[in-house]
Amino acid sequence: MAATPVAICGMGLRLPGRIKNDADMYKFLMEKRDARSIVPKSRYDIEKYYNEHSKKGTIISKYGYFLEDDLTHFDLSMISMTSVEASRLDPTQRVLLEVVRETFENSGEADFRGKNIGTFANGYGRAEGIACLYVKRLDEAIRDGNPVRAVIRASASNADGKTAALTVPNPVAHESFIRQAYENAGLSFRDTAMVECHGSGTFVGDSLEVSAGHSEGASAITSIIKAVVSLENTTILPNIKFTTPSPKIPWKTGKLQVPTEPLPWPEDRRERISVNSFGIGGSNVHVSIISKLEPTK
């Protein structure tokens, strides 16, 4: 079955580091900044839960990634909702509504009342974040005059099935659905410039998922937005957390490298980035994203 190109028309986000839109995100990453901070007391008192030996009922780290904005602030004029309803909303739901509206607005769909809205967003205790995409069939986006930021050229999903443990992925299942995505779209692996990874942070997991990684909360949507701004600026963005290469990963034989500085786009590769998201429950998703200037056939 041939893959139908899907346009990414709008994007919205709120991320740690006071990142409020994709332009902020690109600048933040290009400057190699770090949004890590000690857990703010507005979340919980970390001193009461921290223990360096990770005893039961404690937390081993004092750090995380948190939204700095006052989550109690909410522009009610932008949403059809009473003040009573708004006061009962979880603060993250209020921010989500703002991000959804911004996403529709920058996709050329300012009036979204009554539409069937599909939104992907979430937060996570160790790394808060909200991310949203407005997607549409490419031919319909062109017909309707929507802006096209980038194009999802291929996608596939599956599940790991039974594995040895919760944190141990299934590399056979991973390879299978990635190959299926590329086959459906008639794409060649050799032309892809970059794969966006979500490291699991485990010795076994990272060695199996070097081409991908675990998705928690909003991380997969955030990585897609990162891929879009990378394509728009024809720049491969740096990773500031990479120091010692894992000995379990075949760096040389696989011709793999992690960018630690901004890199110009490779001249011998297409303007294409693959994003893998491997969920902790075993759900796997792969998307291959191309520049809006790349041919879709």
d(CA 99, CA 103): 6
Question: Does residue 207 carry a pLDDT above 70?
Answer: no
Q: What are phi and psi of 104, to 5 degrees?
A: -65, -40
Question: Does residue 206 carry a pLDDT above 70?
Answer: no
State pLDDT tens for residues 159-190.
777 776 666 777 787 888 889 899 989 999 99
Lowest mean pLDDT among 33-37, 136-140, 233-237: 33-37
Give the model's pLDDT for residue 188.
92
Q: Got the DSSP string for 75-95?
A: -GGGSS--HHHHHHS-HHHHH
Residue 74 lies in a domain: yes
Q: What percent of the chain has pLDDT over 70?
A: 85
Q: What are phi and psi of 101, to 5 degrees?
A: -60, -45
CATH number at residue 155: 3.40.47.10
Question: Does residue 275 carry a pLDDT above 70?
Answer: yes
State pLDDT tens for residues 219-255.
889 999 999 999 999 999 998 888 878 787 888 888 8
Any residues with CB less than 8 A from the CB of 235 and at least 6 apart, and which? 30, 262, 263, 264, 265
Question: Does residue 42 carry a pLDDT above 80?
Answer: yes
d(CA 235, CA 194): 11
Span 80-99, average pLDDT: 84
Residue 212 lies in domain: 6-291
- Binned at pLDDT 50, 70 and 90, residue 48 comes out as very high
Residue with the bigger pLDDT between 162 and 15: it is 15
Residue 297 lies in a domain: no
Residue 296 lies in a domain: no
Give the model's pLDDT for residue 133.
96
d(CA 181, CA 157): 8
pTM comes to 0.85
Q: What percent of the chain has pLDDT over 90?
A: 42
- Binned at pLDDT 50, 70 and 90, residue 200 comes out as low
In the three-class reduction of DSSP (H, G, I as helix; E, B as strand; rest coil), residue 200 is classed as: coil
Give the model's pLDDT for residue 201.
52
Q: Are 136 and 149 a contacting pair, CB within 8 Å?
A: no
Residue 55 lies in a domain: yes
Number of structural domains (the chain) is: 1
Residue 26 backbone zone (phi > 0: left; psi -120 to 50: alpha; other: beta): alpha
Give the model's pLDDT for residue 166.
64
Q: Are 227 and 198 a contacting pair, CB within 8 Å?
A: no
d(CA 63, CA 9): 35
Reading the block at residue 24, the tokens are 């902020």
- Binned at pLDDT 50, 70 and 90, residue 89 comes out as confident
Question: Does residue 105 carry a pLDDT above 60?
Answer: yes
Question: Does residue 214 carry a pLDDT above 80?
Answer: no
Residue 1 lies in a domain: no
Q: Got the DSSP string for 256-289?
A: ----SS-EEPPTTS-SEEEEEEEETTSEEEEEEE
Reading the block at residue 89, the tokens are 């909303």
State pLDDT tens for residues 117-128.
333 333 334 778
State pLDDT tens for residues 55-88.
899 988 888 888 888 777 777 777 788 888 888 8
Q: Are 94 and 71 a contacting pair, CB within 8 Å?
A: yes
